Amino acid sequence: MSRVADCVNVSVDAQRLACFDREVGAMLAAVKNKKIVVVQQDDIRKARRTLFGIPLPRIGALDGAGEPEKEMTATIKSVGQGDGGRITFTLEDGALWAQTDDWPVFSAVKPGQKVTLKRGMFGSYFADFERAPTVRAKRVR
């Protein structure tokens, strides 16, 4: 994009037009060859939502939709029991989460309930269940 933007500074009309033709042509070729991908902000928001809880490096393409979400609410698809009787739960989008503390909530959490997942400090997360206590959790996959 910066090379296309540089064409604005060319003062001679014919040279400016030639610059735009050259640089836009190169950009269109890069899009066609998938070296450049144009993405809508809504698509970025959806991708970030499905990646919520997964530690990722900062990727410029994912920064285009503003600040990362601090929390998300989803519906629980299934519930299981993990290590030490801790709860595991799968969301409707397929994301698997596991409880990391020892608070007894297994019998209170059911499929179809809502859970609000909230970012904590230092990469931690909290699962705030409908009709059950809030527990610490981590994204498994």
First to last CA, the chain: 36
- Average model confidence (pLDDT) for the chain? 87
pLDDT-derived band at 66 (thresholds 50, 70, 90) equals: low
Q: What is the CATH number of the domain that holds 84?
A: 2.40.50
3-state secondary structure of 25: helix
Q: pLDDT value at position 123?
A: 84
The domain of 52 spans 2-65
Same domain membership, residue 36 and residue 10: yes
How many other C-beta atoms lie within 10 A of the C-beta of residue 58?
7
Query: Alpha carbon of 139 to those of 32, 46, 112, 123: distances in Å?
Result: 36, 17, 19, 11
Same domain membership, residue 101 and residue 47: no
Task: Using the 3D structure, point to which of 65, 87, 119 is the last residue of a domain.
Answer: 65
Least confident of 8-17, 33-42, 88-97, 107-116: 33-42
Q: Has residue 138 got a pLDDT over 80? A: yes
